[in-house]
Amino acid sequence: MRFGFKRFLLILGVMFGAVVLYLGYLHLSGNFHAVVPGQVYRAAQMDGQKLARWKREYGIASILNLRGDNTGADWYETERGVADRLGIDHLDFRMSASKELTFDEVQTLLEVMRNAPKPMLIHCQGGADRTGLASALYIAGIAGGGEEAAEWHLSLLYGHVGIPWVSAAWPMNVTWEDIEPWLGFPDS
């Protein structure tokens, strides 16, 4: 019995370590992924070099910054400056990973994404929580993708940890669940 418990703890430790390493990789890599190839990409907050590279490699025409207008902050001024220099439209939409979006806010976000020049890059700070919800909404509400494809964007695959009463980003999951019937998905 004792051998089995030690083995269980070892396996649990290895799994935890693998998750931590993967999350570290996402952080270091910029958490850049295609949402809909050629149309929408998602990422964490990037520096000017990454933005220039993604413009060159993917033709980014607009940036949707989910952190909102942060005039005066170094990261924001750099992003705006590089975007202006490269001819990329820069759009701000303020949301918090720890606060549910209202129905009106979801509709506004969908309208901003629908009208933004493509290819569009969506980002927040880590590219996991707010960006995950926006990506799921884009897939389901604009690209016509299914529920499962959309929900993957609110998963550990992209660094999102949505655990009720534990994760500060749980409101992103609540917003998604609340909006699903409006998107045409039956209650789960």
Give per-residue pLDDT as tens, 20-53: 665 665 576 778 999 999 999 999 999 999 999 9
What's this model's pTM, rounded to 2 decimal places? Answer: 0.86
Q: How far apart are CA 133 and CA 150, in angstroms?
A: 9
Structure tokens at 144: 């016509």
Q: Which amino acid is at 64?
A: L
Is domain 30-179 in CATH 1.20.120.1200, yes or no?
A: no
The model's confidence at residue 169, banded by pLDDT at 50, 70 and 90, is very high
Give per-residue pLDDT as tens, 104-161: 999 999 999 999 999 999 999 999 999 999 999 999 999 999 999 999 999 988 888 8
Structure tokens at 147: 């529920």
Position 78 pLDDT exceeds 70: yes
Residues in the chain: 188
Residue 81 neighbours by CB under 8 Å, 6+ apart: 48
Scanning 30-88, the segments in alpha helix (DSSP H) are 48-58, 74-86
